Amino acid sequence: MDYEVKKSDAEWRAELSPEKYAVLRGAATERAWTGELLDEGRSGIYTCGACNAELFKSGTKFDSGCGWPSFYESVRPEAVELIEDRSLGVVRTEVRCANCGSHLGHVFDDGFGTPTGDRYCMNSVSLNFTPGE
């Protein structure tokens, strides 16, 4: 995909902390139950930790019990890019920021009780949070 935000690997490394770089640019996963946004309950917007593109509204966040912040839909379908991921020997759907291509997490169809049935399981470190409406 052709992303609006294009930076070299050196530029990303200079801008992001080692932990953010590992997740956002290297598709690593932070440990469950450790992310600072897991229990965030205020109203606001969640944006990409690399480029600040809007990704999720707080009203779509729910407690899935999985150990990572979960949302049932993105702010707009075109805000995220969904890619087949076979990296662990199973088929999953990776979620990337459609603005810069950064790895955010994965989406699963086990968001039972949500309006969409989806669970966007995101790494806290891949997101920024701005309180507000």
Listed in sequence order, the residues at least 6 apart from 63 whose beta carbon sits closer than 8 Å to its beta carbon are 70
From 48, 51, 97, 121, the catalytic residue: 121
Strands (DSSP E) contained in the chain are 44-48, 54-57, 61-62, 70-71, 80-85, 92-97, 103-108, 119-122, 127-131
3-state DSSP assignment of residue 91: coil
DSSP string over 97-130? ETTT--EEEEEES--TTSSSS-EEEE-GGGEEEE
48 is annotated as an active-site residue: no
The residues carrying an active-site annotation are: 121
